[in-house]
């Protein structure tokens, strides 16, 4: 397997499977997974300067500003200069993408690939609105892909399954509107830099991963 350093940005609408693919790249191909939420939680836990700043915004319910987001990204990149990194759900906006470019340039690096896991809005709604969560143990099921054995009942603990507010169609449509407005311009941004690749998110988890593997480690002989 190639050990060549890579920086990969995963883009895609909610429900496209970005997080799942990032975890597969981490577990099977040795990538380091950058997830803004996880990185923030780690900084808060360790009470770093970034963590204290983030905590202040989170506690007051305010959006964490780009300069703090990029501060966290810079700290992460500094710790992983020799690793293959997959950025999952970051950057979200053009200013964040430009900031990430500056962070990487400071380490004589760049974004090598931006992979868009593409999925139609109606398919996003179909996938996410089929999710159900257990009230007791929080396990998540999907009525389409991984339904419970008994309708409305958790396989693990017997708790009641319910549909979260953010999995209702109107909420999903709102999230998609935000995605199209804020994040879609990144597609053009990375296309202009000749690093954009598209993968059809509708082909399923395993086939999407096979496409990513072929793209990112073409000399992989495993």
3-state secondary structure 84-107: CEEEECCCCCHHHHHHHHHHHHHC
At 222, is the pLDDT very low, low, confident or very high (cuts 50, 70, 90)? very low
Domain for residue 198, yes or no? yes
What integer pLDDT is reported at residue 37 of this predicted model? 87
Q: Is 21 helix (H, G, I), strand (E, B) or coil?
A: helix
**Of 4, 136, 164, 173, which one is the catalytic site residue?**
164
Of 18, 84, 127, 132, which one is the catalytic site residue? Answer: 18
Q: Which two tokens stand for residue 96?
A: 């964040």
**Mean pLDDT throughout 20-37?**
94
What is the per-residue pLDDT for 221? 47
Say how many C-beta atoms besides its own lie within 10 A of residue 219's C-beta.
Answer: 7
| 2 pLDDT above the threshold of 80 | no
| 56 found inside a domain | yes
Structural domain includes residue 35: yes
Q: Does some domain include residue 54?
A: yes
Q: Count of domains in the chain?
A: 1
User: Around Cβ 65, how many Cβ atoms within 10 Å?
Assistant: 11
pLDDT higher than threshold 90 for residue 71: yes
Q: Which of 26, 28, 126, 175 is catalytic?
A: 175
Rounded distance, CA 222 to CA 2, Å? 10
**Cα torsion angle, 68, 72, 77, 79, sign:** positive
Percent of the chain with pLDDT over 70: 96
Q: Can you give the pLDDT at residue 116? A: 96
Q: Is residue 124 part of a domain?
A: no
**Residue 160 forms part of a structural domain:** no
> 87 with 183: CB under 8 angstroms?
no
Which of 28, 92, 191, 213 does the annotation list as catalytic?
Answer: 92
pLDDT in tens, 171-210: 999 999 999 998 889 999 999 999 999 999 999 999 999 9
**In this predicted structure, what is the pLDDT of residue 86?**
97
8 Å CB contact between 113 and 9: yes
Query: From the candidates 84, 127, 131, 132, which is the catalytic residue?
Result: 131
**pLDDT for residue 182:** 87
Helix ranges restricted to H, 33-120: 36-46, 49-59, 66-79, 94-106
> Which CATH number goes with the domain that contains 87?
3.40.50.300
Is 18 assigned a catalytic role?
yes
Q: How far apart are CA 51 and CA 155, in angstroms?
A: 37
92-136 tens-digit pLDDT: 999 999 999 999 999 999 999 999 999 999 999 999 999 999 999
139-153 average pLDDT score: 93
Residue 194 inside a domain? The answer is: yes
Domain that holds residue 190: 7-118+182-215
Instruction: Identify whether 46 is a catalytic site residue.
Output: no
Q: What is the pLDDT of residue 206?
A: 95
Would 69 be classed as within a structural domain? yes
Residue 220: pLDDT band by 50, 70, 90 thresholds?
Answer: low
State mean pLDDT over 159-169.
94
Does 26 participate in catalysis according to the annotation? no
Q: In terms of Cα–Cα distance, which of 141, 139, 142 is closest to 126? A: 142
Q: Is 164 a catalytic residue?
A: yes
Q: Mean pLDDT across the chain, nearest whole number?
A: 92
Q: What pLDDT was estimated at residue 1?
A: 40
Q: What is the pTM of this model?
A: 0.87
Q: Is 23 left (phi over 0), alpha (psi -120 to 50) or beta?
A: alpha
């Amino acid at each position: 397997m190639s050990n060549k350093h890579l920086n990969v940005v995963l883009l895609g609408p909610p429900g496209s499977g970005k997080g799942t693919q990032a975890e597969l790249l981490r577990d099977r191909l040795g990538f380091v997974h950058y997830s803004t939420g996880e990185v923030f939680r780690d900084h808060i836990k360790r009470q770093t300067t970034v963590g204290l700043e983030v905590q202040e915004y989170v506690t007051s319910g305010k959006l964490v500003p780009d300069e703090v987001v990029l501060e966290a990204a810079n700290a992460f990149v500094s710790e992983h200069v020799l690793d293959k990194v997959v950025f999952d759900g970051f950057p979200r906006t053009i200013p964040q993408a430009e900031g990430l470019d500056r962070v990487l340039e400071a380490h004589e690096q760049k974004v090598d690939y931006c992979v868009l896991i593409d999925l139609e809005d109606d398919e996003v709604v179909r996938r996410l609105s089929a999710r159900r969560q257990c009230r007791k143990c929080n396990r998540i099921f999907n009525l389409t892909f991984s339904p419970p054995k008994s309708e409305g009942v958790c396989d693990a603990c017997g708790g009641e399954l319910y549909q979260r507010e953010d999995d209702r169609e109107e909420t999903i449509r709102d999230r998609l509107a935000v995605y199209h407005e804020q994040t879609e311009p990144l597609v053009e941004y990375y296309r202009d830099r000749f690093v954009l690749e598209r993968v059809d998110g509708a082909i399923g988890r395993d086939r999407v991963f096979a496409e990513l593997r072929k793209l990112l480690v073409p000399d992989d002989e495993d």
